[in-house]
Amino acid sequence: MADATALTFAALCLPFLGAVVAPFLVRMLGARAAWLLALLPLLAFAHFLGQLPAVAVGPITGGYDWAPSLGLRFSWLLDGLSVTFALLITGIGALIVIYAGGYLEGHADQGRFFSFIFLFMGAMLGLVVSDNFLMLFVFWELTSIASFLLIGFDHRRAAARRAALQALVVTGGGGLALLAGLLLVSSATGAAELSQLLQSGDILRDNPYYLPVLLLVLGGAFTKSAQFPFHVWLPNAMEAPTPVSAYLHSATMVKAGVYLLMRLNPAMGGTVAWEVLLPLFGGVTLVVGALLAVAQTDLKLQLAYTTVASLGLLVMMVGFGTSHAIEAAVVYLVAHSLFKGALFMVAGIIDHETGTRDVTRLGGLRHALPATFAAALVAAISMGGLPPAFGFLAKEQIYDALATASPWAVVATSMAVLGNALMFAIAFAVGLKPFWGKTKGTPKQPHEAPISLLAGPAALAALGVLAALFAGHVHQWVSSPMASAVSGSTVEVGISLAPHIGLPLLLSLLTIALGAAFYWQLDRLRAGMALCLRWLGTGPDRGFDHAITGLIRLSAAVTRILQPGRLEIYITCTFLCVAAILLLPLWIYGELPVMPAFPSHLQLHEAGVLLLALAGILAVVVARDRLTAIVSLGIQGFSVAILFLLFGAPDLAFTQLMVETLAVVILAMVMTRLRLSPRDRRSFGQMLLDGSIAIACGCGFALLLMKATERPLDMALSDFFNTYSKAIAHGANVVNVIIVDFRGTDTLGEIAVVAMTGLAILALIRVRAHTERKLAENDPNAPEDLGVERP
Amino acid sequence: MNTLIFRTVAPGLTALMLLFSVFVLLRGHNEPGGGFIGGLIAASALAIFAIARGVGSVRRAIVFHPLAIAGAGLLMACCAGLLSLFLAVPFMTGLWIYPSLFGVEVPLSSVMLFDIGVYLVVVGSLTSIALALEEREVE
């Protein structure tokens, strides 16, 4: 099936294509470009939908060689888990793009926004289908970078910048932990691809490094999926425009950690550490997130904290280990994506139409926004876990899985009930409260949202109900293959809308009763939580600030010690080290070279050049002013160049000649600018010290070179290049062939350094020129024209 | 050192040096020379011109900002390496074609493109440093 391979690759590229063309399309078509752009993810969606029947049978792998000499492949693994994620990412992605077209209509930077969101979509899509570890890591970090750009989209506000930076530091740091973990996995099992790892059985679990590997991987997963105490970045990420929040929370980034845990469950799950750490962190995140959600008055923040709670619930279920729990996690994940996406878009519509997101200022919007209200209510029913929505199935399955498990389950079950009840309350606080009650005055007079804004929430809310009504089909094509992939063996998901008599139903009723009570007393609950938070004081969010401030203080302190700002100290240190490195090994190991005999066949012109070099050095030492010293140094350099020329290295001679010329020119330019006195005014002691360091360095180099020439010359490399440079690289000049052909990649690195150095030096000079211009501008006697060009 | 003789000779000298630098660059594959040394010669030529006639005239003469030239060179060198991507050979593999121009066979290669990239990076970086230093005549 070479065809399917090419098509999958194309589907992976589509979002990146969107990222490139979006700015141009927006410039040409304005906000209508969104409809066209949405076709890209839709095409990818159609491709992955077409893969479902094949994936239901077994996983598909495919890909291309990337860097074969490093064993690196661009390879993907399509199974129930990755295809479900791919469908969510592309499907919801298409709706988000349309929604963003309406939401940011007329925004000056809409094209840039689309670029970022497509970049993000592509990164996320690559992440979930990656088979190769390194490819997974590359896409993992790309999602962090893309989310940094998206969260900081409104970069003029300090809060947005801080939130973006925080997300990058937290998730990027976790990504590094993940990289270390994956490398360890790779060296422990010999697997470079997930598909190999999943078939390797217990090798990883039995490895002595299992626990460090697990901790590192969890570091990546927990930071990405905002588990307590790393959850802070996620609510702060609400600084991003609402379409981003909707996308981040429903389909993509925050679920990447959950995806990773699900993916690794067959290879790493089922151990004591796994079954303790995941439910523990997940459970705490669930309760903390749900409680913090209640404390908010901002619609988006309420939803953000319930996402934290939902992610906690998912992690808890994955860690629980039974196949029932896996089924519950799978169904809940799909349900959550549908309702959370819808509700976020509704929150965005409310914000867009009324000018506020504060629940205390909203009410009675059902008259003005009837269609939005319908979508919101249906999504809220799913989130609250009421029939006939997919969320109901998910909740029943959770209770079914927890109630039939170990004694630990009592704790987990009560956490789940409490969390679900709080989420029930929040669901209706967002989906019902702003629309019900008396109409309140809002900053803007609300009107029903346009079709581009409504399409997304309406579609997702409707899907939430349809998925429940046709649960059999959904389970057959989506839930069962995904659950099978996560648990590593065939699992049939069978939950339906029919009442589940027994403990699950009782727990469900308890949840609804509690949730209704919470909803009833939401204001009082919020006041209570606010009191609690004030009593608790600093949280992890402030902690992040303290950590960053501390880091800056630390680096400032270290800099003060290591870089006191006096050039002569640096230079003295550097050359002392050079001298020590050159001389000490020779002396300690007794490897001092034998003094060679004075060459008897020294020709007259050779001796002349040597004398010239010596004269140059002598002139440097005795020179009365700096300029003379520089020029004398040039004499010495030119003599060396002539030596190179005499002994058959014209390339070296050439380069030496030019470098000497430029060195003299640039040194002279610097010297005349530095306002140094023309004379050297060092004290005699200082001169003695500097002189001895210089002599030590020189002796070190000379002795080392002499030692090197004492050994017989190995001609292997010279022979190789002499033989092959004409045959392979079509060049007679061996030196140049080595530079541009045999070692071309090194040269590429070197010229990159040269260009970078040029940039840095220019920046430094410009900083000084700028301050001097400032000084000159304040000087009443300064001439009008300062002779400084602005490039 | 800004004498009349120097100011008169400098433009001719610069032009000669620039021409020589291109010559050195192009012969580099078979004779002593190449991008690096050619770039150094060109940079010194521009430095001489800058000392004689002022930084402004050099900037006008080369049209682009020196660092833009360096950037273009880096990009060119990267592209020379990436050409191999389309022929499914490892990164930076030297590729050669021999088109015939007016009956003369002209060997062209990605290696030459790479060398020109090196040349431009060296010229651009060094010239931008030299010009920036020469320019700071504020005091």
pLDDT at B16 over 90: yes
- Of the candidates B81, B125, B139, which has its C-beta nearest A748's C-beta? B81
4-23 of B, contacting A, C-beta below 8 A: none
| Segment A657-691, tens digit of pLDDT | 888 888 887 787 777 666 666 677 788 888 899 89
pLDDT of residue A775: 61
What is the predicted ipTM?
0.90
Helix (H) or strand (E) holding B101: strand B100-101
Residue in the block written with tokens 């997963």: A221
Residues A249 and A341: beta-carbon distance below 8 Å: yes
Across the interface, whether the CB atoms of B96 and A736 are under 8 A apart is answered no
The closest of A273, A264, A280 to A227, measured between CA atoms, is A280
Residue A623 to residues A210, A453, A618, Cα–Cα distance (Å): 68, 80, 8
Residues of A in contact with B14 (CB under 8 A): none
CA A564 to chain CA mean position, Å: 34
Across the interface, whether the CB atoms of B138 and A789 are under 8 A apart is answered no
Residues B39 and B21: beta-carbon distance below 8 Å: yes
Answer yes or no: do A293 and A408 share one domain: yes
Answer yes or no: do A194 and A153 share one domain: yes
Judged on CB neighbours under 10 Å (0-12, 13-18, 19+), B114 is buried
Residue in the block written with tokens 């399309």: A25
Residues of A in contact with B29 (CB under 8 A): 730-733, 736-737, 740
- Closest approach of chain B CAs to the CA of A758, in angstroms? 5
Mutate to test the interface with B, among A645, A669, A751 (most CBs of B within 10 A): A751
Residue A580 lies in a domain: no
Answer yes or no: do A190 and A310 share one domain: no
- Closest approach of chain B CAs to the CA of A755, in angstroms? 6
| Segment A38-64, tens digit of pLDDT | 999 999 999 999 888 888 888 888 888
- Closest approach of chain A CAs to the CA of B99, in angstroms? 16
Residue A168 lies in a domain: yes
B100 in reach of chain A (CB within 8 A): no
- Of the candidates A741, A751, A762, which has its C-beta nearest B77's C-beta? A751
Long-range own/partner contacts, residues A696-699 (CB < 8 A, 24 or more apart): A696/A579, A696/A583, A697/A575, A697/A578, A697/A579, A697/A582, A699/A583
- Domain boundary among the residues A464, A492, A520 is at A520
Answer yes or no: do A261 and A303 share one domain: no
Residue A203 lies in a domain: yes
B55 in reach of chain A (CB within 8 A): yes
Residues of B in contact with A748 (CB under 8 A): 77-78, 81, 92, 114
Residues of B in contact with A650 (CB under 8 A): 32
Residue A88 lies in a domain: yes
- Of the candidates A751, A755, A791, which has its C-beta nearest B65's C-beta? A791
- Domain boundary among the residues A220, A240, A268 is at A268
Residues of A in contact with B98 (CB under 8 A): none
Distance CA A769, CA A774 (A): 9
- Which residue type, as a one-letter code, is found at position A93? G
Across the interface, whether the CB atoms of A662 and B40 are under 8 A apart is answered yes
pLDDT of residue A611: 92
Low-confidence ranges of chain A (pLDDT < 70): 1-2, 251-253, 404-407, 537-539, 672-678, 769-791
Which residue is closest to A652 within chain B, CA to CA? Answer: B32
What is the number of CB-based contacts under 8 A between chain A and chain B? 165
Answer yes or no: do A24 and A150 share one domain: yes
User: What is the full DSSP assignment across A137-190?
Assistant: HHHHHHHHHHHHHHHTTSTTSHHHHHHHHHHHHHHHHHHHHHHHHHHHHHHHH-
Residue A510 lies in a domain: yes
Answer yes or no: do A473 and A408 share one domain: yes
pLDDT of residue B2: 66
pLDDT of residue A791: 37
Across the interface, whether the CB atoms of A733 and B139 are under 8 A apart is answered no
Residues A234 and A226: beta-carbon distance below 8 Å: yes
The closest of A334, A412, A348 to A101, measured between CA atoms, is A348
Answer yes or no: do A393 and A513 share one domain: yes
Across the interface, whether the CB atoms of B132 and A733 are under 8 A apart is answered no
Residues of B in contact with A74 (CB under 8 A): none
Helix (H, G, I), strand (E, B) or coil at A73: strand
What the block records as the tokens of B131 is: 């010009």
The closest of A34, A39, A124, A50 to A88, measured between CA atoms, is A124
* Phi, psi angle pair for A95, to nearest 5°: -65, -40
Answer yes or no: do A348 and A483 share one domain: yes
B119 in reach of chain A (CB within 8 A): no
HSE-CB at A540 with a 13 A cutoff on CA atoms is 18
Answer yes or no: do A169 and A310 share one domain: no
The closest of B66, B105, B110 to A740, measured between CA atoms, is B110
Mutate to test the interface with A, among B57, B106, B121, B123 (most CBs of A within 10 A): B121
What the block records as the tokens of A246 is: 């909707």
Q: Which domain holds residue A477?
A: 287-520
- Of the candidates A670, A728, A731, which has its C-beta nearest B133's C-beta? A670
Across the interface, whether the CB atoms of B29 and A740 are under 8 A apart is answered yes
CA A408 to chain CA mean position, Å: 36
Residue A765 to residues A200, A630, A634, B55, Cα–Cα distance (Å): 58, 22, 25, 15
The domain ranges of chain B are 4-138
Distance CA A752, CA A193 (A): 33
- Of the candidates A737, A762, A791, which has its C-beta nearest B29's C-beta? A737
Answer yes or no: do A95 and A213 share one domain: yes
pLDDT of residue A776: 60
- Of the candidates B28, B70, B117, which has its C-beta nearest A736's C-beta? B28
Distance CA B80, CA B83 (A): 5
Answer yes or no: do A435 and A511 share one domain: yes
pLDDT of residue A788: 41
pLDDT of residue A537: 67
B105 in reach of chain A (CB within 8 A): no
- Closest approach of chain A CAs to the CA of B4, in angstroms? 19
Q: How many domains does chain A have?
A: 2
| Segment A265-317, tens digit of pLDDT | 888 888 888 888 888 899 899 988 888 888 888 888 888 888 888 999 999 88
- CB within 8 Å of B86: residues ≥ 6 apart: none
- Domain boundary among the residues A487, A520, A553 is at A520
Residue A355 lies in a domain: yes
Helix (H) or strand (E) holding A5: helix A2-29
Distance CA A441, CA A650 (A): 85
- Of the candidates B71, B115, B134, which has its C-beta nearest A755's C-beta? B71
Answer yes or no: do A60 and A166 share one domain: yes
Residue A698 lies in a domain: no
What the block records as the tokens of A682 is: 């060092």
Residue A442 lies in a domain: yes
Across the interface, whether the CB atoms of A758 and B137 are under 8 A apart is answered no
